[in-house]
Amino acid sequence: MGPEDVCCGMERLPVPVYGPWKNLPAFQYTPELIAGPGAEQDPSEVTIQGCDCQGSNCVAEVCRCLPHGSHYVRRSIVSGQRPVRECNIMCNCGESCPNRETQQGLQFHLQLCQRPGKGWGVCTLEDIPNGRFVCEYAGEVLGHEQARSRILSQNPCANNYIIAVLEHLHGGQILQTFIDPTLIGNVGRFLNHSCDPNLFMMPVRTHSMVPKLALFAARDIQAGEELCYDYSGRFFNQTPASETQDSEEELSPRKKCLCGTGACSGFLPYESSLF
């Protein structure tokens, strides 16, 4: 890891560091998810069947990867399309198929920069159109108990990078995915929280049932802006008043939010099942 590229040449584009790069936390770079302690599935294992489409353009509602319509239009994600399933290495279509957007890696020039009061952050060096894929939140896939153990063993003042994704399935089942980029991760680990974010996170599946956590532009983003998303996973953070007036005991694990937006809820989101 050096000042020229925090990604160590493992991404399509380099991500330079603007600032005292020696102050960066030590971690191993990975551009994709890897199986960590307690993971029930290996994200590198191919478990999803591919399509039989011919050519490089899969047809929506004909391709088995697109049963409910196209996920992308002119490389931008279609709002409200859940769940997202992309074509994978088992599909007959080629790598130029438009239903492989998150597999193209970084598509915009980004930079690590220091943000007042928040430490490191990620800024874009070029304009990013609404709906475009920006980066993945990659790291170790953990089991619930391992994720909880890591959080409870942390210094209360330390940054927590573990994200819990809860997907509600038909029949009331909840699919949990825990990703930790603290020790092994990618550029996504440096993204800060905002209660009024310009990115949103979407689970995307390619060849495994373990979802990628893909970050897309929530609006047109101008060059020079810091990139942020809502750590709670919500597109817009509209916290009811009752959630911001909990007792001191209930708020004890929570940290003050420093996003500074007019929509700020006052505290960073957290997953209560891990505390």
Which pLDDT tens digits describe the chain residue by residue (275 residues)?
445 899 999 999 999 999 887 789 999 999 999 999 999 999 999 999 999 998 888 998 899 999 988 999 999 999 765 689 999 999 999 899 999 999 999 999 999 999 888 889 999 999 999 999 999 999 999 999 999 999 999 887 788 899 998 888 778 888 889 999 999 999 999 999 999 999 999 999 999 999 999 999 999 999 999 999 999 876 533 343 334 334 334 445 678 888 888 889 888 887 666 76
CA-angle at 9, arms to 6 and 14, nearest 5° = 60
- CA dist., res. 252 & res. 239, Å (int): 18
| HEC profile of 96-145 | CCHHHHHHHCCCCCEEEEEECCCEEEEEECCCECCCEEEEECCEEEECHH
Return the structure tokens found at 18: 């603007």
CB 70 within 8 A of CB 85: no
Q: Which CATH superfamily is domain 17-237 in?
A: SET domain (2.170.270.10)
Buried-state track 223-259, b at ≥16 Cβ within 10 A, e below 16:
eeebbbbbbbbebebebeeeeeeeeeeeeebeeebeb
Q: In the prediction, which pLDDT does 239 show?
A: 40
If you count DSSP H runs as helices and E runs as strands, how many of each does the chain have, helices first? 2, 16
Ranges of each domain in the chain: 17-237
CB of 162 closer than 8 Å to CB of 142:
yes
Enumerate residues 6+ apart whose C-beta is below 8 A from 256: 266, 267, 268
190 class by beta-carbon count within 10 Å (0-12 exposed, 13-18 middle, 19+ buried): buried
